[in-house]
Chain A
Amino acid sequence: MKPKNWMKLEFPSESPNVMFARTAVAVFASQLDFTLDELEDIKVAVSEAVSNCVIHGYQGSVGNIVLEVAYDEQFISITVEDFGKGIPDIDQAKEAGYSSIPEERMGLGLVFMHEYMDEVLIDSRVGEGTKVLMKKKAPAPVS
């Protein structure tokens, strides 16, 4: 289905951009009739996905993150992509509490994304990067 609206951002994997990314997506998503709680949930999911790019995708070095958002009558779709390390074992990465790097996020990044979005698909290739597609059912758009 052709999107009713879309946007695309590209930015370096610097930590201040995590807030920028989730806020930009929330502002864009507010074109739809999501509740404030739902917009906050979308912000958490985006924050986790972009944080994953910074921490795991590029692991201290800086690379580009591409963020694309589009919506139609049925879904808002958010894609977060990095061109970094890639995930060797996606099923292992999805386990709550698992983290490949000793860092204090409690291994909850992917868990939150699955909790707050209706669908999460991960495409990752080691050495090439990771693309996360998250979808949430769209309420009737504000006319």
Chain B
Amino acid sequence: MSSQNTLKNLEGLLESFLERALAAKEDRLTVLSGMNSLDDISRLGPDDSSVHNRLGDWLSEHSQWLEEGSLRPSDVNRIQNVLGEISNRLDLGSTDTPELTKIRGEVDNWQPPQKKGRRVIFKRPGESKPVIDQNPDSIARFQAELSRISELYQKKAVGCKHLLSVLDDCLKSAKIQLRKEPLLLAAFIIYSLKQDGYKVAPYVKKLKEAERLIEKVPSDA
């Protein structure tokens, strides 16, 4: 058999292998394709007028994912995050149109349902119980912490174009480094964004995940 024929056979075998490998991942490829195109939309500049149309097209094309409930929870989470980012950008300086209202409504369908009537209960030990505190000067301690958080914000903000990028970075740092400062900074940014009308539910979820991880770290670590 000539070398050319050998190579042709090998070519056919390799192509066939790749086709079958991809066929086995067909469903996953469909999801990746959708997430990829949503990611492309999220990377469009704020002045790009095609964002609304492309997002509207994406939402109508992929609405069956919501209806079928066939996506992995991690995929749903990521899509919620990206849609939240895009939606927050659409809120900036945009006048309300019926089209924009409809898009926001469809984006909201992707967000996890908000629990209504949640009460936040602060608990602290009774006055008679001694508070374990290595530094009795709580004002000085908090002042020092505030300075560290402020320095952290300065570092994180370098090169970022939006506060949401700083927030993402803080949440990642909190989760990976298991440190309190990025967690507190993230919480501050989330509350600040909420006051400005941003939808922060996906970020609150990430904050709580990071908080749970940090709580597991021994305090003398």
Bound together: no
